[in-house]
Amino acid sequence: MIFTILLAAVLPAAGCHPINAERIYARDLAAAVPLFSSLPPDFPVGYSPAPGWQRTFHVAELQRLAKANHLEGAIAHDVCFGWAMSVPDPDRIVEAMKKSLAGRDVHIEIVDRSRMPAPAGELVFPLSSASVRSSAPVLWRGYVTYGDHKRFGIWASVMLTVKGTRVVAVNPLHTDVPIEAADVREESYEGPLQAIGVVADLKEAVGMVPRRPVGAGEPLLENLLDHPRDISRGDTVEVVVNAEGAMVRTAGIAEESGNRGATIVVRNATSGRRFHARVEDKGKVSVVPGVAAGLIAKDQKS
Amino acid of residue 59 = V
CA dist 203 and 186 (Å) reads 10
**236-301 to CATH, choices 2.60.40.10, 2.60.40.650, 4.10.780.10, 2.30.30.760:** 2.30.30.760
Give the single-character DSSP code of 174. Answer: -
Q: Is 68 exposed, middle or buried (0-12, 13-18, 19+ CB in 10 A)?
A: exposed
Contact status, residue 247 vs residue 263, Cβ threshold 8 Å:
no
Model pTM above 0.95:
no
Model pLDDT for residues 147-178, shown as the tens digit of each residue: 888 999 999 999 888 888 889 999 999 987 88
pLDDT at 119: 95
Please give the single-letter amino acid code of residue 23.
R
Give the mean pLDDT of the chain: 85
pLDDT digits (tens, 9 = 90+) for 2-58: 333 333 334 444 578 999 899 999 999 999 999 999 999 999 999 999 999 999 999
Q: Which ranges of 16-139 would DSSP assign to H, the alpha helix?
A: 26-32, 59-68, 90-101
For the chain, the 3-state helix, strand and coil shares in percent, each to the nearest 5, are 25, 40, 40
pLDDT tens column, 226-267? 888 888 888 999 999 886 667 888 899 999 988 899 999 999
Fold assignment, 84-228? Type Iii Antifreeze Protein Isoform Hplc 12 (3.90.1210)
The residue extents of the domains of the chain are 2-83, 84-228, 236-301
Q: ∠ CA 261-235-254 to the nearest 5 degrees?
A: 55
